[in-house]
Structure 1
Amino acid sequence: MPKNLHLELTDDQRCDLRGLLGRRDLARHTRLRAECVRLLDRGRTVTEVADLLECNPVTVRAAVHRFEKGGLDALPDAPRPGRPARILGPEDRAELADLLDTSAAAGITWTAPALRDWLRDERGVEISAYWLWELLRRDGFRWKRTRDSVRHQADPVLQQAARAELGDLRPCGRPPTPDKAT
């Protein structure tokens, strides 16, 4: 059976821990580790802490060992490997918003790949079409899929003449369909 872990914090560490737990932008795993340290400092056992925080006792022990090695600075997650996510700068977003607003007023529609190409050519920003679509959605831009139709450009007089001509060709016994144009 594993030995019980005991943790005694100094007053400065307790104050720093309270400040860390008071932050609203704290990541979920960092908060969990800080809560483990706080509850163990209050005299709880590893199993009690694991039950209270609804996690595995191994997680509690790992948080304590992490704290013992590096203090409060060791509780946050390590930086993720790889290239950081592409984020459009505020100037790029403002320019893109202006483009979309003026295009909407002129009746021009854009696809995400076309906007990606515009950003690459005009602003020198490399970003994927999907990530651009996601950023636009987060910024509150809404759109709907356009249809490939020219029905709105049809001449009503020609439509009526075509319906009359087709009415004569209708098979016997089938009632005529109601006229949608009138």
Structure 2
Amino acid sequence: MPAPLRIHLTAEEDRTLTELRLAQNLPQRTRDRAHMLRLNAQGWNVPAIADVFECHPHTVRATLRRWEEKGLGGLWEAPGRGAKPKWHASDLDYLTECLEHEPRTYNSLQLAKKLKQERSVDLSSDRLRRLLKKKTVVHFSKG
């Protein structure tokens, strides 16, 4: 059986983790990780911490290892998680310019084709219509 994971915190690290745990402007997962670290440093074992947070012990171990490897930076989510946006605000600004300055009118299908041809952004006409409505652009007809 491997040795139990145990971290040791300096007084300053403990104070910082306490402040992070209580900070209301941080994601809950980050605050939970700070609390996991403090509990472990106080002598709690991994299974007991996992019971408190209702998570798998692997989650607690991963948090402890990330602390050992990355320190404070290991508490936050790694970049690159989740789906990447297919469009940028500048793409909608471009369409807005086209709608305002070109003499013709477009429907959402035509705008989607224009966006794909000229900016290599592939959005469905429905999705594009919803985005433009949020932007309060209503110079086009449905279709």
User: What letter matches 1:16 in structure 2?
Assistant: T
Q: 2:17 matched to 1:17?
A: yes
For residue 154 of structure 1, what is the aligned residue in structure 2? none
When Rg is computed on C-alpha atoms for both structures, the one with the higher figure is 1
Q: Which residue of 1 aligns with 2:27?
A: 26
User: Matched residues in 2 for 1:92 and 1:15: separation?
Assistant: 45
Against the structure 1 CA distance between its residues 109 and 120, is the aligned structure 2 distance closer, same or farther, given a 3 Å change threshold? closer
2:112 & 2:131 partners in 1: Cα distance? 14
1:117 corresponds to: 113
Residue 140 of structure 1: how far off its partner (Å): 2.6
- Alignment match, 2:56: 56
User: Aligned-pair RMSD on alpha carbons?
Assistant: 4.1
Residue in 2 that maps onto 1:36 = 36
Structure-2 change in CA distance of 1:107 and 1:87 (3 Å): closer
- Residue identity in the other structure for 1:14: D
The match for 2:91 is 92
Greater relative CO, 1 or 2 (CA 8 Å, sep 6+): 2
User: Which secondary structure does the structure 2 equivalent of 1:129 belong to?
Assistant: coil
- The whole-number CA distance in structure 2 between the counterparts of 1:20 and 1:47 is 23
Give 5+ residue unaligned stretches, structure 1.
148-182
Q: Does the 8 Å CA contact 2:67/2:75 hold for their aligned counterparts?
A: yes
Percentage identity across paired residues of the two chains: 28
Count of residues in Structure 1 that have an aligned counterpart in Structure 2: 134
Give the 3 Å change call, closer, same or farther, for CA 62–127 of structure 1 in structure 2. Answer: same
Could you state the TM-score of these two structures normalised by the residue count of structure 1? Answer: 0.51
Give, in whole Å, the separation in 2 of the partners of 1:134 and 1:15.
48
Following superposition, the deviation at residue 108 of structure 1 comes to 5.4
Task: Single out whichever of 56-65 and 71-80 deviates more from structure 2.
Answer: 71-80
Q: Deviations over 1:53-85 (max 9, x none)?
A: 11111211121112112211233344439x954
Provide the rounded CA distance (Å) in 1 between the counterparts of 2:32 and 2:132.
28
Secondary structure of residue in 2 paired with 1:55: coil
Contact 1:116 1:126 in 2 (8 A): no
CA contact (8 A) 1:116 1:132 kept: no
How far apart, CA to CA, are the structure 1 residues paired with 2:48 and 2:33? 14
Partner of 2:75: 75
Question: What corresponds to 1:128 in structure 2?
Answer: 122
Q: Secondary structure of the residue that 2:37 maps to in structure 1?
A: helix
